């Protein structure tokens, strides 16, 4: 993967990373074991409310590009097989990760238990076959009154 020429804004909040998986794959994901991932477009929703803030997104891009071999979270096992397509970020101190993820999941296929080991959500990874539809679903889920939302498309492998 080429390194996207992306500037990730400073701040904290909730993000949804948009990814493309070009072919069906079976991937071992830590304690979850082997998962079958159909080809398509995925949205992974996570929290960037901790110390590094939205810097976590840069870490995800480094894992996807093979520059960071550490596998700490479920998403780290999937990232090397994907092409990052964009990210939607909502700047907030509020704990909205599950609300946003569940809204996305109500319009897409949820990968069960993925990314939700620390909450009661069905999963924080969602599949959609069309990128345009996924972008619309994710940006709408992040459209929370009074909060700043930012969509950054990655101009790589498009």
**Do residues 43 and 18 make contact, with C-beta atoms less than 8 angstroms apart?**
yes
pLDDT at residue 87 is higher than 60: yes
Predicted confidence at residue 70, as pLDDT, reads 94
Q: What is the mean pLDDT of residues 148-154?
A: 82
Question: Beta-carbon neighbour count of residue 56 at 10 Å?
Answer: 20
Percent residues over pLDDT 90 in the chain: 82
Q: For residue range 44-55, what is the model confidence (pLDDT) as tens digits?
A: 999 999 999 999
Dihedral (Cα; 49, 114, 20, 106), 10-degree rounding: -90
DSSP tag of 30: G
Instruction: Work out the mean pLDDT of the chain and round it to a whole number.
Output: 91
What is d(CA 73, CA 107) in angstroms, rounded to the nearest whole number?
24
How confident is the model over 107-140, as pLDDT tens digits? 999 999 999 988 999 999 999 999 999 999 999 9
In the three-class reduction of DSSP (H, G, I as helix; E, B as strand; rest coil), residue 112 is classed as coil
- Find out whether 150 and 57 touch, Cβ atoms under 8 Å: no
Residue-wise pLDDT tens digits, 11-20:
999 999 999 9
């Amino acid at each position: 993967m080429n390194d996207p020429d992306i500037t990730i804004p400073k701040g904290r909040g909730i993000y949804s990373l948009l990814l493309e998986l070009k072919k069906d794959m079976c991937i071992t994901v830590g304690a979850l074991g082997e998962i079958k991932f159909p080809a398509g477009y995925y949205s992974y929703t996570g929290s960037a409310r901790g110390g590094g803030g939205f810097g976590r997104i840069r870490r995800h891009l480094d894992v996807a590009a093979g520059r960071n071999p550490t596998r700490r979270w479920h998403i780290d096992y999937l990232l090397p097989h994907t092409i990052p397509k964009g990210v939607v970020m909502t700047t907030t101190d509020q704990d909205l990760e599950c609300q946003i993820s569940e809204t996305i999941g109500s319009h897409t296929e949820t990968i069960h238990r993925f990314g939700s080991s620390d909450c009661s959500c069905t999963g924080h990874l969602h599949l959609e076959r069309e990128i345009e539809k996924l972008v619309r679903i994710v940006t709408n889920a992040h459209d929370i009154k009074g909060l700043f939302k930012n969509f950054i498309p990655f101009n790589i492998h498009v």
